[in-house]
Amino acid sequence: MVWVFVVACLASGAAYAQQKVVLDLERTVRLATDSSLTAQKYQSVYDISRYQYLSWIATRKPQISLEATPFLHERYMTQRYLSFEDIDEYRMQQDLYSQAGITITQAMEPWGGEFYGSSKFGYLHTFGEISQNQFMTIPIAVGYRQNLLFYNPWKWAKKIEPLKLSRAEQELSYGIETASEQAVEKFFTLAMAQDGLRMAEKLLASCDTIYAIAERRFNIASISKAELSMLQLDKTNARIALANARIAYTRAMQELATYLGMDRSTYLELEVPDLMQGLRVDTEEALRYARENNPRYMESRQATEEARRDAAKARVEKNLNLSLDVSVGLNQVAYRFVDAYMHPLLQDVAMVTLSVPIVDWGKRKNAYMAALSKVEAAERTRCDADGQRFQRTANHSGGLSRSTEHRGRCLQPDPAPFYQGTGEHHRPLIGSNELADRPAEQNRQPAELLDHLLPSAPPDPL
């Protein structure tokens, strides 16, 4: 009695551990878009692009930063010239330095450079026979710098960065729809496996009945040993088909449960929807939605703009590289902190850097020609891809209605099933002479029916 109680408890615990979930198609799609790893992966990829775009937006606004060297101590030997003795000598020097400053930068999008302003304060203490303190101040300094004149990177960034974000949004939508499509495919795979299991059970029951009748007729010498062996083979094949159907059903249930983020042992009960009838897709409308929502269109546009940007930069660098840095401000140095801000002096800096290739063996020219070729390749690739997507979209939209009608006819209930009706594939009537005349190859397996009812392979993405 104790063992019976333990076994009963274990069985009830196992049954309780297997959770039962009822799923319809709408809930399956909702769970796939919320909980599946595929949807979460596309969401993570979108977050990367979104944060990159927000970072670029932030660079267009004024940037304020604090730059400081709180403590710098140096002790070293330095060479000095003694004018009264006309000789050089090495002396030990020890310094303590500290400085801090606030810098403000603002991108100048119309020109392609950067405007900056700063305010700094520095302190220097020199050790030695005569120690002294010095204070250095820059109350204000403003300037403008641009690394490459005649090339505006901000202009190109304003074109490309929004394209990147739009592409990421479309990739997210496309990924969520892909996750929904995979969930729907796994849903109907489980539904077909469930029907296949039910058909295999009915087939085995039919074969058991036929074989039992055949054994009685064999005992009265009504059928031969070969015919009985053929019916026994049918029964064995039905058992194998049932075992395979159970394996396929268990695998399909586990795949769907895992894909939806559930435990593999979850028991799923499906509510299969009715077939959608009269589905029509207009080709022009499908093409318009494809251009608006397919991320491949946005990807080709982004590649073309990036190639044009690289070509514009290579064209400027081909002849010369000209940089500019101009600043003006106030500064002062004093031995007392108060005096460091009294009577500041004017400081101005103007620097133009020029780099002209004299002999580079065609390096910059070939780089420019490569950039131009990249632009041509991107444009041609975009045109070719647009044409291919146009053709695929037209083919899919035109064939979708025909495929829906065909599947509707396939999924309609057969008025004469293979085990009840009349015709080539039917179950022999008990006690009739058809039992002995029935060839084994007329035993239609559930796999053949599944191949007839399963939907065709999903089309390639547009």
Contact partners, residue 413, CB within 8 Å, separation at least 6: none
How many Cα atoms within 13 Å fall on the side-chain side of residue 119?
A: 6
Give the confidence band of 333 by pLDDT, cuts at 50, 70, 90: very high
Distance CA 124, CA 130 (A): 14
- Please state the rounded mean pLDDT for residues 377-390: 78
pLDDT at 141 over 70: yes
What's the predicted TM-score (pTM) here? 0.70
Contact 249, 190 (CB under 8 A): yes
Can you give the pLDDT at residue 18? 61
Can you give the pLDDT at residue 200? 92
Domain ranges of the chain: 18-60+171-273+419-447, 70-108+113-145+327-355
- Average pLDDT over the chain reads 79
Q: Report residue 253 as tokens.
A: 């249930």
pLDDT at 202 over 90: yes
DSSP-derived secondary structure letter, 131: -
Contact 284, 39 (CB under 8 A): no
Distance CA 229, CA 207 (A): 13
pLDDT at 326 over 50: yes
DSSP-derived secondary structure letter, 99: E
Can you give the pLDDT at residue 285? 78
- Please state the rounded mean pLDDT for residues 11-36: 74
Contact 321, 149 (CB under 8 A): no
| Interior angle at CA 227, CA 221 and CA 228, nearest 5 | 75
Can you give the pLDDT at residue 393? 67
Closest CA to 265 of 16, 6, 7: 16
93 sits in which H/E element: strand 87-108
Cα separations (Å) of 290 from 61, 176, 397?
35, 16, 11
Can you give the pLDDT at residue 279? 64
What is the maximum span of the chain, computed from C-alpha positions, in angstroms? 142
Q: Report residue 388 as tokens.
A: 């291919």
Phi/psi at 274 (5° precision)? -75, 155
Contacts 24+ apart (CB under 8 A), 410-417: 410/452, 410/453, 411/275, 411/453
pLDDT at 461 over 70: no
- Please state the rounded mean pLDDT for residues 70-76: 89
- Please state the rounded mean pLDDT for residues 47-76: 93
Residue range 248-290, pLDDT digits in tens:
999 999 999 888 888 888 888 888 887 665 667 777 777 777 7
Distance CA 326, CA 410 (A): 79
| Interior angle at CA 207, CA 204 and CA 212, nearest 5 | 125
Closest CA to 71 of 46, 41, 103, 95: 95
Distance CA 241, CA 248 (A): 10
- pLDDT-wise least confident of 40-44, 145-149, 151-155, 399-403: 399-403
pLDDT at 458 over 90: no
Contact 351, 363 (CB under 8 A): no
Contact partners, residue 213, CB within 8 Å, separation at least 6: 430, 431, 435
- Please state the rounded mean pLDDT for residues 412-425: 41
Distance CA 220, CA 229 (A): 16
Contact 305, 160 (CB under 8 A): yes
Contact 344, 139 (CB under 8 A): yes
* Tokens 């801000």, located at residue: 341
pLDDT at 426 over 60: no
- Please state the rounded mean pLDDT for residues 316-332: 89
Distance CA 439, CA 450 (A): 22
Residue range 42-53, pLDDT digits in tens:
899 999 999 999
Pairing of strands 20-24, 267-271: parallel
Can you give the pLDDT at residue 2? 43
Distance CA 376, CA 307 (A): 9
pLDDT at 328 over 80: yes
Contact 295, 170 (CB under 8 A): yes
Distance CA 411, CA 109 (A): 62
Can you give the pLDDT at residue 402? 53
Q: What is the CA radius of gyration of the chain?
A: 41
